[in-house]
Amino acid sequence: MDADVSDSPGTPAEPDRPDDPAGGGPAGGSRSASGAGGRGGAAGEAPRASAPGDGGPAAGGAGTWGARPGHGPRAGRRRWLRRTALAASFVVLVAAGAGWWLYKKLDGNITTDTSAAAELKAYEKERPLPVAGDAQNILLIGSDTRSGDNSAYGRDDGGSQRSDTTILLHLAADRRSATAVSVPRDLMVEIPGCHTDGGKETKERFAQFNSAFELGGTACTIRTVEKMTGIRVDHHMVIDFNGFKDMVDAVDGVEVCLKAPVDDADAHLKLPAGRQKLDGEEALGYVRARKSIGNGSDTERMDRQQKFLGALVNKMQSNGVLLNPTRLYPVLDAATKSLTTDPGLDSLRDLYDLVRGMRNVPTEKVQFLTVPRRAYHADPNRDELVQPDADRLFDQLRKDEPVAVVPAEVAGSGDPQEDHSSGKDPSGQEPGDSRESPTPAPTYSGSNAADDPCAS
């Protein structure tokens, strides 16, 4: 065997180098100057320096393409990882930027009611004490102003407004139940002295409940509710017509059941009988209509509003809206655009925490009822509280104790105007009978979010 041929196997030849069929010289450098066929030239001539890429000493001693820096399987993997990391970083930055923009947009939609907070602070000594634990009471007020975007729903009376719908929402400390209590706008109550927008102080008066909102706005309404119930209102929200419409559209409509066709020009509503899926515009007309649906009373209208809100809650929970950010965003956008709230709920984080706490409440435990009331003795077109049933209800909520809600026929009254506590728990147990339960929950006529709108 020739002396200039290595006994050890060489590095595999580079396939695209026809001028070097042997795959380069022996491992460790160029061949000897005396070796035949070497790149050094004639015998005795110094070997030339290898150019980059030749695989010689200048390339770090690596004699093949695969062993050069920046090439080969490992280098390829490193380049792929770098590119992947760069792309992932870009996606994260874009997503974070978009998420921050969406957050700021929703957060900026909310209007903070600082004037009500200041008014309530001035009367702090007169207000009830907060409930113990994590239970919360939130006053929901539906504004019936006809100014601005709401002018399509009636005459603009100079921007004055009354509370069209008022609901006291009690969230149990364990967040396993939510009880929404409607306060009739025609209920005769004691309205405390309040301050108007212009700073004028009004006198205490016995008047129709919804006039409190017109006299002294949100703070006056809150103080009226607290005076009537003895329940501390922790937070409040005021929602106008368009906010309600947009929320219904955001969940792709809500189903209701009509016992008879409806044709009401004032409510912009024309619907056939039976099960119907209402969009936002139709839903607004449905919950506001009085003369064209049912017996035309405000009592019947409140019952319809409660059932619709129950159906809306059911739609959001059953369709996973509260657990799906993509579907939740339009709902939050619609709600926040027309929402005015106290400083304690004026951020998206505050609202998210509130919604997150409610998303595990079973739909059958989301209950709706109206304060026990009857026709006012001095004017049948007004309402008054039924006692001691009303105080018993307020006491249960104040202590964060359970309240049972069942349909009117189960509670023992067919007339919704006279519906109030039956004095029994859902099992029919008489008050004071402690054989099965030492503190039976009082039962009131109403509905829950799990009810089928066409069941009755």
How does the average pLDDT of the chain come out, rounded?
A: 76
pLDDT confidence of residue 332: 82
| pLDDT given at position 409 | 67
CA distance linking residue 169 with residue 107, whole number of Å: 23
Please give the helix or strand (H or E) that residue 379 lies within, else none: strand 379-385
> Tens digits of per-residue pLDDT, 98-144?
566 576 777 888 899 999 999 999 999 999 998 768 899 999 998 76
Average pLDDT over residues 19-28: 45
Q: What per-residue confidence (pLDDT) applies to 376?
A: 95
pLDDT band at 183 (very low <50, low <70, confident <90, very high): very high
pLDDT-derived band of residue 366, with 50, 70 and 90 as boundaries?
very high
Does residue 41 carry a pLDDT above 70?
A: no
pLDDT in tens, 78-105: 776 776 766 666 555 555 555 665 767 7
For residue 411 the two structure tokens come to: 């509670």
- How far is Cα 218 from Cα 141, in angstroms, rounded to an integer? 8
Cis peptide before 388 (omega within 30 of 0): yes
Tell me whether residue 163 is exposed, middle or buried, using C-beta atoms within 10 angstroms of its C-beta: 0 to 12, 13 to 18, 19 or more.
Answer: buried
* Residue 94 confidence (pLDDT): 53
**pLDDT above 90 for 223:** yes
Say yes or no to pLDDT of 43 above 90.
no
Confidence at residue 187, expressed as pLDDT on a 0 to 100 scale: 95
Is residue 374 helix, strand or coil? Answer: strand
Which of 5-14, 324-333, 375-384 is predicted most confidently?
375-384
**For residues 385-414, average pLDDT:** 85
Query: What is the arithmetic mean of pLDDT over 341-365?
Result: 86
pLDDT value of residue 442: 80
More confident residue, 149 or 301: 301
Q: What is the pLDDT of residues 244-281, one digit of tens each?
A: 888 899 899 999 988 889 888 888 888 999 999 999 99
Q: Which residues make beta-bridge pairs with 207?
A: 189
Residue 395 has pLDDT above 90, yes or no: yes
- Judged by average pLDDT, the poorest of 60-74, 323-337, 369-383, 411-425 is 411-425
Distance (Å, whole) CA 302 – CA 310: 12
First to last CA, the chain: 106
CA 331 to chain centre: 7
**Measured distance CA(178)–CA(140) in Å, rounded:** 13
Amino acid at 428: G
**What is residue 339's DSSP assignment?**
E
pLDDT reading at 396 higher than 90:
yes
Q: Is the pLDDT of residue 347 over 70?
A: yes
Higher pLDDT, 78 or 304: 304
Please give the pLDDT value at position 96: 55
C-alpha torsion angle, residues 124, 130, 136, 142 (rounded to 10): -30
**pLDDT tens digits, one per residue of 411-436:** 654 444 454 554 444 334 444 444 44
pLDDT for residue 411: 60
Q: What is the mean pLDDT of residues 431-446?
A: 60
pLDDT band of 225, cuts 50, 70, 90: very high
Higher pLDDT, 62 or 315: 315
Higher-confidence position of 51 and 75: 75
Percent of the chain with pLDDT over 90: 33
pLDDT for residue 297: 73
Q: What is the 3-state secondary structure (H, E, C) of 84-122?
A: HHHHHHHHHHHHHHHHHHHHHHHHHHCEECHHHHHHHHH
